[in-house]
Amino acid sequence: MYGLSGDWSIISSPSPKPYPHKPPKCSNCAPLFMKITHMEMIKGIQGHGYYDELVIPIIENTAYENDITDSLAKAIEVYPKTTAVLVRHHGIYVWGDSWISAKTQAECYHYLFDAAAIKLHHLGLDWSTPDHGPIQNVKGFSSINSVIKRVATKVGTVDSNFKLQPYPRCIVLDIEGTTTPISFVTDVLFPYARDNVGRHLSATYDSAETQDDIKLLRSQVEDDLKQGVLGAVPIPSEDAGKEKVIASLVANVEAMIKADRKITALKQLQGHIWRTGFENNELEGVVFDDVPEALEKWHALGIKVYIYSSGSRLAQRLIFGNTNYGDLRKYLSGFFDTAVGYKRETRSYVEITESLGVDKPSDMLFVTDVYQEATAAKAAGLEVVISIRPGNGPLPENHGFKTINSFLEI
């Protein structure tokens, strides 16, 4: 159990269990709990008579508990005496004497309704009618076709033999060459970070964030020097002065960018530099034209979509929060970066599947433009398709993966 103070800082933490258990993590609900005051979880609405008014707020469900904080806080502010909520999840309204019970029930009902529709179809029963009678023939065509198609709008697609092909439970997307042109990364983001690294470090040198970035870079450069990595130069101690430290950092970062290294130290600093660029409207994220429509469709179907990129999670949120199609983060359920592992390592995809709690790895679809990433994900049991986009590199002959030119093909 975590002990929290009134300002949400952690006072005490639980002891971690030995490997292979994951380290403890404070609940996503924590900021939400801090918003709740003067409320009790009750089993009924007591003290209300015929002429009384009871106002119950409706709260849209979200992927993570802490994302619901603002809407609940607003509801409590407007209706301070409320003792219950309605949580809306894909058109399903669930009453709860607490937000967490309503949220959980809504998600369960949504899953069960979809499962029931498929089961009824398998039994030859029309799930779309009140009495669930047998599927009838209409005008010479079996209505089984339309039934399957109606079910498919929620749970899958239909092949030429009217066989239901279920949608993946989760979709994990690469960015560069998959959602976004490679040219945007190589010709816009990388040059911006390279040209502004010195200015950024000088302006923010004394901040805790930048000092953390420098500490991470020092550790990486020390390893690079031991391994003889080309372009690595020693970073002097703080005693040498701010300017000399920054000059050496700039030299190392430029070499890392030139080599297109997928390392956390570089990606974390780049994310902080890009944040300034987006805040100053000097940068705008770019996605392919089919991406917003596909994300909206998957979101409506209840498919959770995640991003896995070598860029930092901050950089990912910046790109999708400031695109040429507006803020697309509402369609995304989470972000993964190299902190979970490198993208060409099978263990990284095993870690993602375990983090998301899917029943089996094949419930997850990974979309990338890189053959080595596709191979690593497939080895972890994921379904994989390779994205063919303008400017992407060639694939090996007989690579064995399904390819797409647009997300609308998924």
- Neighbouring-strand partners of residue 316: none
Listed residue (402, 398, 407, 396) closest to 377, CA to CA: 402
Of the candidates 40, 53, 77, 397, the residue annotated as catalytic is: 40
How far apart are alpha carbons 275 and 209 in whole angstroms?
13
HSE-CB of 74 using CA atoms within 13 angstroms: 9
296 is catalytic: no
Q: Name the DSSP class of 226.
A: H
Q: Looking at the chain, how many residues does it have? A: 410
How far apart are alpha carbons 203 and 206 in whole angstroms?
8
How far apart are alpha carbons 378 and 145 in whole angstroms?
33
Rounded to 5 degrees, φ, ψ at 171 are -125, 130
First to last CA, the chain: 42
Q: Name the DSSP class of 95.
A: E
Burial 327-360 (b: 16+ CB within 10 A, else e): ebbebbbbbbbbebbebbbbebbbbbbeebebee
Greatest Cα pair distance, the chain, in angstroms, is 87
- For the annotated catalytic residues, the residue numbers are 40
